[in-house]
Structure 1
Amino acid sequence: MATAYKTPGVYIEEIAKFPPSVAPVETAIPAFIGYTEKATDGVLDLKLKPTRISSLVDYETHFGGPQKETDITVAVTQTKSAGLITAQKAVAELAEEKRSKHILYYSLQLYFANGGGPCYIISVGPYKATMAAALVETELDAGLVAVKKEDEPTLIVIPEAQSLSIGDFKTLQDAALAQCADLKDRFVIMDVHGDGESLSDPTANLITAINEFRSNGVGANNLKYGAAYAPNLETTLNFDFEESSINVIINTDGAAAAAVKLNTLSATDNAAYELSKAAITDLPCKLPPSPAMAGIYAAVDSSRGVWKAPANVSVATVVRPVIQFTNIEQDQMNVDPTGGKSVNAVRPFIGQGTLVWGARTLAGNDNEWRYINVRRLFIFIEESVKKSTMQFVFESNDANTWVKVQGMIENFLTTLWRQGALQGVKPEHAFYVSVGLGKTMTALDILEGRMIVEIGLAAVRPAEFIILRFSHKLAVS
């Protein structure tokens, strides 16, 4: 406002009466770290440079396609009568240990199929013919360091971490959790590493794998910033393959011919060629659940809000979990009395498909941070309020500023309360915001330039256990 006027006339002064507003930040922007076919858009080198994409087409433009499978074999069985083929079938095989360990492309397919939106890709290098575990951990860790420089990502997903040794897996995941605790604006979605028990093996002992994961796959620090899921998923995604490397063995009336390459079969037996390709399409593509969960987080945040637990939701593009288990086994997954490391189950239900059946962080015994939606709601509110209060840095630390800050935050939290993010029948039951001399600050705080705002929230929590109590009632005339 002007302090003095020298020329006679009419002057207009606009006085700001409303407090500024809090702009809510995005809550489900995953950062996928892994190997890609390429890392360039034709001009820029994108290796270890977080790149924002919005679709699978964007991914293919910048990072290429999947690593082609070369160890598939196809057995074609034919029956002939009078020199004519009367019946034939083909069965394809791909041993899990021989398939490519580079699964980032398929993971992005699973992510977008489950409702995923914009995300970041951090390419740590081109595909490798063989995986040297120690080198892979170092390169994936470099991708983790690169994503730390980006402000927008709110989720960290490393699908290829399962291919590491369990020791390297622990080192990587502990570093991811530490980054989340340091920045306080992101959350880790991780897969269970069972060491000797593969989560892609239907005969594996799931509880043994989870116990190994709890003991040697993740440490005891910063557990509230991550959630783990198991088992792996059998998806409907199709493998990409190199026809010139696929062996096809044709067995006619019990007599097996020498193996031929798939790409040469089309010229000699087109029917067997098409049948072989169809058999390869039927091969189950097994993937860790973290990419699907990242998509589900994004979909639930968009439709319901970050305060809704990402559970009791169907998983798309999935046939079934690889390992079947019982309620008793899930009891041991959900509650861990020793270390408190909860693991969320992905389970099939008759008539409902495959559902996410758990909503706990790794800190499953922590009453404050037990649930994923509570942790992520606080991350969302903390980051939104933090960014909005940046405008008050170096403002006068007096009552005028305090009123603006308090009003700004209260308006934001009232909106969230109306949307169902906070408990309470009245706003004052759901939250409080306190700032001021004698409330949150002393005279010394003001002298040293500190403005302290205290915010209390009553976050909604999921109804994890619904208990119905029934009893007999005597008839009354």
Structure 2
Amino acid sequence: MPATYLHPGVYVEEVPSGSKPIEAVGTSTALFIGYCLKGPIGTPVLIGGWGDYERIFGGLQDRSADTSLQLAGGKVLGDPMGHAVYAFFQNGGGKAYVQRMATGALSASASVEDGGTALLTFTATSPGTWADGIVVRIIGLSDEAENNRYRVEVGRGTGDEFEALEVFAEVDIREAEPDFIASMINDVSELVTVELADGADVDTLRTILQGATDQVTELTLDGGENGSDGGKTDYNSAFSALRKVRDINMILLPGHYWASGKGKDQIEEAIGHAEYMRNCMVIYDPPPNSELTSAGDVQSLGLNTSTYGALYYPWAWVANPFYDAERAPGKPRRVLVSPAAFAAGMWARTDRRRGVWKAPAGVEATLLGLADLEYVVENDEQDFLNPSGVNAFRRLPGYGSVIWGSRTLATRANPEWRYVPVRRTAVFIEESLYNGIKWAVFEPNDHRLWSALRTNIESFMNGLFRVGAFQGEKSSDAYFVRCGLGSTMTQGDIDAGRVIVEVGFAPLKPAEFVIVRIQQKVGQQ
């Protein structure tokens, strides 16, 4: 509505420019979904570094005794989730979601009881045996008969060997008080939660606590169960819930690899999710302890040929942090770790340094944290790996271990999306436009809207062209944006409430084959 001018004077008005810049979306947020021994179950948790993973999910776990991780020939897989997350951040990853999958897991707990009835119960913050042995000490702060105030210490060890990890200096066992024990501990402690039973008699609880020796009550948590990894149905449900999380760009499934009964079903669920969302890719692994020596070996794997999938080979040897020549000589010196995790970190590092349109491969793609590769890949092996879309880890003299391939698994099935950076650049543009033009919904569908859409999208595409994201010497060679009646829409489209914008771009494709032709020049008269 126009302003109303009633009194003489100066009026200042702000006039909208019509410019609505499109913001580029992130491209390197990973999702690690799979089995681990600590942390919330069934909920994606965003972490910003290895320290967050250690705090919430317990860090690296010694699982060398787990028979499911022991392979023929004495090879052992390292803690799948822990090593994968560590490799991701070590190689350049910035942030990631971690979603723990565990069916049948139980939380450790301990209670102050009256004749077998729990009055005050302490429970571990997440299910698993990690909390078995945690000790809670409840210490009275007064000798008075009506004392309701206590000090709570949570730690490990008993008696003189007790070591407090968390201390709550003064809490009250009465629910109506502002410093009620549950209010002071829950959502603050990283180890336990506490609950006063419904209808619990506070007088009885007080009598029990005061009757303890020196008014110190010690409770030891137990009964935790780690549960087991979920199956196809569990992962289907998990990915259905993840449809609401749109900022995931890479999906990894530590502990699962492409083999029947070893994770193939779960990987297929992840690929189905990526196909549905169209804004992320799945990076997964071939079976460990299985050398690919011919094209027939690759073909026998029966790999999924989705344009949203990428696979890396071989697995990586990593030093086992739990091996010690004196104290733990029986543990393996090194363990196998998923190659997908290293690749995901490299994708993130390349995005940050060069852009999503740069292939995350080459001599710049030096992998960190590897002791060795499970198998040696040379030119002869890559002659059949590359055409099949299997990206190789190789050791190059003077460069160390590098990624030497940047193809999707659609190399043969859909050559248009043969390259990882082409697929990821398209996803990046699509998601940026999806988020950036929502303002157009419910606007009048006429030439002014079409012009505004063209202007804003062209500005975004031109910015990408100027930083080298597309082929072409001129912007007209690199991209186009069309929107208008007779161009992208008919009157029927307009009557149906549709605005159609067509955007095209010439993607950069990596120079896989650098060919040098040398000719001997014969002397001429």
With the length of structure 2 as denominator, give the TM-score of the two structures: 0.70
C-alpha distance in structure 2 between counterparts of 1:145 and 1:124, whole Å:
14
C-alpha distance in structure 1 between counterparts of 2:397 and 2:100, whole Å:
39
C-alpha distance in structure 2 between counterparts of 1:139 and 1:61, whole Å:
26
For 2:249, give the aligned amino acid: T
For 2:317, give the aligned amino acid: E
Aligned to 2:163: none
Describe the shift of the 1:25–1:211 C-alpha distance in structure 2 as closer, same or farther (beyond 3 A): farther
Q: 2:489 aligns with which of 418, 421, 441?
A: 441
Aligned to 2:90: 113
Aligned to 1:227: 310
**Contact 1:190 1:227 survives alignment (8 Å):** yes
Is residue 295 from structure 1 mapped to residue 345 from structure 2 by the alignment? yes
Aligned to 1:67: 61
For 1:229, give the aligned amino acid: Y
> How many residues in Structure 1 have an aligned counterpart in Structure 2?
400
Aligned to 1:454: 502
Quote the offset at 1:180 in angstroms: 1.2
**Contact 2:232 2:269 survives alignment (8 Å):** no
Structure showing greater radius of gyration is: 2
408-417 or 13-22: which moved more? 13-22
Aligned to 2:410: 363
Q: 1:104 aligns with which of 55, 67, 81?
A: 81
**Contact 2:64 2:331 survives alignment (8 Å):** no
Aligned to 1:25: 25
C-alpha distance in structure 2 between counterparts of 1:239 and 1:137, whole Å:
32
- Higher share of residues assigned helix: 1
Quote the offset at 1:96 in angstroms: 6.9
Aligned to 1:245: none
**Contact 1:144 1:176 survives alignment (8 Å):** yes
Q: What are the superposed Cα offsets for residues 177-209 of structure 1, whole Å, 9 maximum, x if unpaired? A: 22112111111111113xxxxx2x3xx43136x
C-alpha distance in structure 2 between counterparts of 1:400 and 1:456, whole Å:
22
Quote the offset at 1:136 in angstroms: 4.4
For 1:361, give the aligned amino acid: T
C-alpha distance in structure 2 between counterparts of 1:282 and 1:36, whole Å:
20
Describe the shift of the 1:345–1:70 C-alpha distance in structure 2 as closer, same or farther (beyond 3 A): closer
For 1:29, give the aligned amino acid: T
Q: 2:303 aligns with which of 218, 230, 237?
A: 218
SS at match of 1:404: helix
Q: Where does structure 1 lack aligned partners over 5 or more consecutive residues?
A: 40-45, 73-92, 194-198, 242-273, 337-341
**Contact 1:239 1:285 survives alignment (8 Å):** no
Aligned to 2:159: none
C-alpha distance in structure 2 between counterparts of 1:98 and 1:343, whole Å:
23
Aligned to 1:321: 373
For 2:304, give the aligned amino acid: G
Where does 1:255-274 land on structure 2 (aligned, <5 Å)? Answer: none
C-alpha distance in structure 1 between counterparts of 2:510 and 2:398, whole Å:
24
**Contact 2:32 2:96 survives alignment (8 Å):** yes
For 2:279, give the aligned amino acid: D
SS at match of 2:482: strand
Aligned to 1:206: 292
Is residue 376 from structure 1 mapped to residue 437 from structure 2 by the alignment? no
Is residue 2 from structure 1 mapped to residue 17 from structure 2 by the alignment? no
Q: Where does structure 2 lack aligned partners over 5 or more consecutive residues?
A: 106-127, 130-224
**Contact 1:154 1:186 survives alignment (8 Å):** yes
C-alpha distance in structure 2 between counterparts of 1:168 and 1:95, whole Å:
15
SS at match of 1:207: coil
Is residue 307 from structure 1 mapped to residue 307 from structure 2 by the alignment? no
SS at match of 1:335: helix
**Contact 1:54 1:117 survives alignment (8 Å):** yes
SS at match of 1:38: coil
Where does 1:154-169 land on structure 2 (aligned, <5 Å)? Answer: 154-162=249-257, 165-166=259-260, 169=263
For 1:362, give the aligned amino acid: L
Aligned to 1:252: none
C-alpha distance in structure 1 between counterparts of 2:356 and 2:55, whole Å:
31
**Contact 1:189 1:228 survives alignment (8 Å):** yes
**Contact 1:22 1:412 survives alignment (8 Å):** yes
For 1:462, give the aligned amino acid: P
For 2:303, give the aligned amino acid: V
Is residue 431 from structure 1 mapped to residue 525 from structure 2 by the alignment? no
Quote the offset at 1:391 in angstroms: 1.0
C-alpha distance in structure 1 between counterparts of 2:64 and 2:17, whole Å:
68
SS at match of 2:403: strand
**Contact 1:432 1:457 survives alignment (8 Å):** yes
Percent identical across equivalent pairs?
34
Describe the shift of the 1:166–1:383 C-alpha distance in structure 2 as closer, same or farther (beyond 3 A): same
**Contact 2:61 2:79 survives alignment (8 Å):** yes
Describe the shift of the 1:367–1:165 C-alpha distance in structure 2 as closer, same or farther (beyond 3 A): closer
**Contact 2:387 2:411 survives alignment (8 Å):** yes
C-alpha distance in structure 1 between counterparts of 2:501 and 2:264, whole Å:
37
Q: What are the superposed Cα offsets for residues 277-320 of structure 1, whole Å, 9 maximum, x if unpaired? A: 47568711211101111100000000000000011111100122
Where does 1:404-415 land on structure 2 (aligned, <5 Å)? Answer: 404-415=452-463
Aligned to 1:334: 386
Quote the offset at 1:219 in angstroms: 3.4
SS at match of 2:417: coil
For 1:226, give the aligned amino acid: G
Q: Which has the higher contact order (CA 8 A, sep 6+)?
A: 1
Quote the offset at 1:413 in angstroms: 0.8
For 2:458, give the aligned amino acid: E
Aligned to 1:266: none
Q: What are the superposed Cα offsets for residues 52-111 of structure 1, whole Å, 9 maximum, x if unpaired? A: 001111112111133324549xxxxxxxxxxxxxxxxxxxx9977785674101111111
Quote the offset at 1:240 in angstroms: 3.5
Quote the offset at 1:118 in angstroms: 0.6
**Contact 2:378 2:394 survives alignment (8 Å):** no
C-alpha distance in structure 2 between counterparts of 1:360 and 1:396, whole Å:
43
With the length of structure 1 as denominator, give the TM-score of the two structures: 0.77
C-alpha distance in structure 1 between counterparts of 2:356 and 2:2, whole Å:
46
SS at match of 2:251: strand
Where does 1:247-258 land on structure 2 (aligned, <5 Å)? Answer: none
**Contact 1:371 1:461 survives alignment (8 Å):** yes
Q: What are the superposed Cα offsets for residues 155-191 of structure 1, whole Å, 9 maximum, x if unpaired? A: 10012112x8525633222221221121111111111
Aligned to 2:435: 387
Q: What are the superposed Cα offsets for residues 119-163 of structure 1, whole Å, 9 maximum, x if unpaired? A: 000011267999978x5454444443443331111110012112x
SS at match of 1:33: strand
C-alpha distance in structure 1 between counterparts of 2:299 and 2:237, whole Å:
25
Quote the offset at 1:6 in angstroms: 4.7
Quote the offset at 1:329 in angstroms: 1.8
Aligned to 2:276: 182
Aligned to 1:53: 47
Is residue 351 from structure 1 mapped to residue 398 from structure 2 by the alignment? yes
Q: CA RMSD in A?
A: 2.8
